[in-house]
Structure 1
Amino acid sequence: TGIGMSKVFQKHLFESFEQENPNISIKYGGTGLGLAICKNLVTLMGGSINVHSIEGVGSEFCVDVKLGLTEESYRRKNFDILKLRDLKTLIVDDDIVTCEHASLIMSDLGLQAEYVTSGASAVLEIEKGIREMKPYDIVLVDLKMPDMDGIQTAKAIRRLVGAETLVVVMTAYEWKEIEADARRAGVDFFITKPLFRSELVDLFEKINDFSEAVYEPETAKGEIQFAGERILLVEDNELNLEVAASLLEMKGLTIESACNGLQALEKFCSTPVGYYDAVLMDIRMPVMDGLEAARNIRLFDKSDAQTIPIIAMTANAFDEDVEKSHAAGMNAHLAKPIDPEKLFAVLQEFI
């Protein structure tokens, strides 16, 4: 809708600085460059742009470009959902419409799905599955529910099933603020609402990658104690650095720190061979991130550059970060907030 334009002017519409009359820029602003830029971009993409306009009524623009599948779409198209068809799924949400919608998507994907409308009912259903020797493999639980919210439900479920069941929190809200509490309660993944088929396929792909790629150290037998081995701890957050250093020193490790990847690289390159026994590397840091630092360490001309254990630490250990860290030359991947026992077990495995 708008003022439209004459047939004569439409022939010059996509030329730079062209406007139908001098009053246009005074009344509406602009310089007559916007559509010229659009035309240029569309042409560069091998497409076309056309206009149909009626004075006093408005204008309709049509852009025609050829687009291929994005890498993400191609991956979704070729994702083998058959790998997950034996999984038993429970949906927990106080909104019955969400439950039915999610169940329909699951059925369409060939998965077995049940639903309940409260946290208490979810716990009873999980107990029933255990009794009948038909446990649930995945539980999708809404974050905001009356009486028993998603985190409380996840904690109760985790007490019953241990690590055997994957717990996914569904939320329409920003979940970063509650992530630490949720992880401690036993939540493995997060997914945003409203649920779409593509998002659920993404989730199942992450679950599949997670089961194949996430490093699980062997359970250490007895109390783990070290004998002064030197660790380079790379972390830009001062509080995280202080807490991690204290935990490690309590176990008999010697700690040296760096506040970003570049500083870590400089310390490694300037010390003798074998000076550090392992590197604990945060992924997201200013100046140089952990991935780039790890790649540079592996490329450095020093005899232990290829062998020193580099262990990633990140708040996002359940997506492509796992794959990226391995590709950068890291040996293992730990999720934040760090589980001290898992951290010690990983270090014992590699040192």
Structure 2
Amino acid sequence: EYAIHFQMQMGKHKYRHLIGSPLYLKQVLQNIGGNAVKYNRAGGAVTFASEDVAYSDGRAVIKFTCTDTGRGMSREFLVHAFEPFSQENTDARTTFTGTGLGLAITKQMVELMEGTISLKSEQNVGTTISVTIPFRIDVDYTEPQEDAKPADAASLEGVHVLLVEDNELNMEIAEFLLKKAGITVTTAYNGQEAVDVFRTKAAGTFDVILMDVMMPVMDGLTAAREIHATNRVDAAEIPIFAMTANAFYDDVRQSKEAGMVEHLSKPIQEQELLDAIRRHVKR
């Protein structure tokens, strides 16, 4: 929409299989990358890079760097950038609809992973954020045999999914991935619509429900509870997956408490999605 050029510069990492927190790492990189786009300028650029910086005591230390050509920050504000609710411009909340918590939360997650985060910025020039995190090297990993077949690669042809998503682009992408696998898709654009669709269809119509969490009219957690509470034979057992950009422990806990059996982080990964459906669909 803003013609921002996004470039990846992935280093040649010595170790490809590491042990750490996928949820925290994904959230950290999404927060940083999201800000780089959000506070950029039309026709600007974002460059994301990763490189190994050290190996010691069974650990690989990796540095992730995100550079943008956005509005940047003043020297005076840099010392406050990681403080909660910090936003330099008085119009930031109205223009960019943020809370000022992004960098503060990102710093907390980086520190929980025993890493460090730093930034350099210049007003009207851009910002560079660097995150360095140590990961344990997975010494037990062995390369699979070439003739090994994917586990449980059962066909999903004929599976019927109720896809609930309020964002049109996310809906289009998820629907494409599902249909490519032979899955029949019925769509709903908010939680209330999902509840209505489920209740009006015959019992057993849907094998799985993919539910966005943050939606207008009715959120995904409430919709999941409403569906499970429906007085129908398939209501209590229908597998409902949460789809959300929020990967914090508390978000996972809330989705489980609402009766959701999977927590899929956005952007949705095709193989992760299809494998999750296979786990819960009895053919």
**Normalized against structure 2, the TM-score is what?**
0.53
Cα displacement string for residues 204-241 of structure 1 (whole angstroms, at most 9, x for unaligned residues): 6xxxxxxxxxxxxxx95275531211100000111111
Separation in structure 2 between the aligned mates of residue 195 and residue 340 of structure 1, nearest angstrom = 26
The letter for the 2-side match of 1:349 is R
Separation in structure 2 between the aligned mates of residue 251 and residue 264 of structure 1, nearest angstrom = 22
Q: Does 1:269 align with 2:269?
A: no
The letter for the 2-side match of 1:254 is T
The letter for the 2-side match of 1:333 is H
**Normalized against structure 1, the TM-score is what?**
0.43
For residue 186 of structure 2, give the secondary structure of its aligned residue in structure 1. Answer: strand
Select the residue among 129, 135, 138 that pairs with 2:59: 135
Cα displacement string for residues 30-74 of structure 1 (whole angstroms, at most 9, x for unaligned residues): xxxxxxxxxxxxxxxxxxxxxxxxxxxxxxxxxxxxxxxxxxxxx
The letter for the 1-side match of 2:175 is A
Cα displacement string for residues 313-340 of structure 1 (whole angstroms, at most 9, x for unaligned residues): 0011234111100000101000000000
CA contact (8 A) 1:311 1:334 kept: yes
Separation in structure 2 between the aligned mates of residue 139 and residue 341 of structure 1, nearest angstrom = 25
Separation in structure 1 between the aligned mates of residue 245 and residue 105 of structure 2, nearest angstrom = 24
RMSD across aligned positions (CA): 3.5
Q: In structure 1, what is the equivalent of residue 180 of structure 2?
A: 250
Structure with bigger RCO (C-alpha 8 Å, 6+ apart): 2
Q: CA deviation at 1:140?
A: 7.5
Q: CA deviation at 1:279?
A: 0.1
Give structure 2 stretches of 5+ with no counterpart: 1-19, 21-48, 69-80, 86-100, 114-148
Pairwise mapping of residues 10-21 of structure 1 onto structure 2 (< 5 A)? none
Give structure 1 stretches of 5+ with no counterpart: 1-86, 88-118, 146-170, 175-189, 205-218
Select the residue among 95, 103, 123 that pairs with 1:192: 103
Pick closer, same or farther for the CA change 1:320–1:139 going to 2, 3 Å: farther
Pick closer, same or farther for the CA change 1:220–1:306 going to 2, 3 Å: farther
How many residues are paired up? 172
Pick closer, same or farther for the CA change 1:309–1:202 going to 2, 3 Å: farther
For residue 187 of structure 2, give the secondary structure of its aligned residue in structure 1. Answer: strand
Q: In structure 1, what is the equivalent of residue 271 of structure 2?
A: 341
For residue 333 of structure 1, give the secondary structure of its aligned residue in structure 2. Answer: strand
* Percent identical residues: 37
Q: In structure 2, what is the equivalent of residue 221 of structure 1?
A: 151
As a proportion of its length, which structure holds more helix?
Answer: 1
Q: CA deviation at 1:246?
A: 1.2
Q: In structure 2, what is the equivalent of residue 329 of structure 1?
A: 259
Pick closer, same or farther for the CA change 1:193–1:222 going to 2, 3 Å: same
Pick closer, same or farther for the CA change 1:221–1:303 going to 2, 3 Å: same
For residue 203 of structure 2, give the secondary structure of its aligned residue in structure 1. Answer: coil
Q: CA deviation at 1:271?
A: 1.4
Q: CA deviation at 1:303?
A: 1.1
Pick closer, same or farther for the CA change 1:241–1:194 going to 2, 3 Å: closer
Q: CA deviation at 1:348?
A: 0.5
As a proportion of its length, which structure holds more strand?
Answer: 2
Pick closer, same or farther for the CA change 1:238–1:307 going to 2, 3 Å: same
Pick closer, same or farther for the CA change 1:124–1:282 going to 2, 3 Å: same
Separation in structure 2 between the aligned mates of residue 349 and residue 241 of structure 1, nearest angstrom = 22
Q: In structure 2, what is the equivalent of residue 310 of structure 1?
A: 240
Separation in structure 2 between the aligned mates of residue 323 and residue 225 of structure 1, nearest angstrom = 31
Separation in structure 2 between the aligned mates of residue 267 and residue 341 of structure 1, nearest angstrom = 27
Pick closer, same or farther for the CA change 1:308–1:203 going to 2, 3 Å: same
Separation in structure 2 between the aligned mates of residue 277 and residue 333 of structure 1, nearest angstrom = 17
Q: In structure 2, what is the equivalent of residue 300 of structure 1?
A: 230
Which structure is larger by alpha-carbon Rg, 1 or 2? 1
Q: CA deviation at 1:191?
A: 7.1
Select the residue among 154, 162, 165 that pairs with 1:235: 165
CA contact (8 A) 1:191 1:203 kept: no
Pairwise mapping of residues 131-170 of structure 1 onto structure 2 (< 5 A)? 134-136=58-60, 143=66
The letter for the 1-side match of 2:169 is L
Q: In structure 2, what is the equivalent of residue 24 of structure 1?
A: none
CA contact (8 A) 1:224 1:345 kept: no
Q: CA deviation at 1:124?
A: 3.5
Separation in structure 1 between the aligned mates of residue 213 and residue 167 of structure 2, nearest angstrom = 12
Pick closer, same or farther for the CA change 1:172–1:271 going to 2, 3 Å: same
The letter for the 1-side match of 2:214 is R
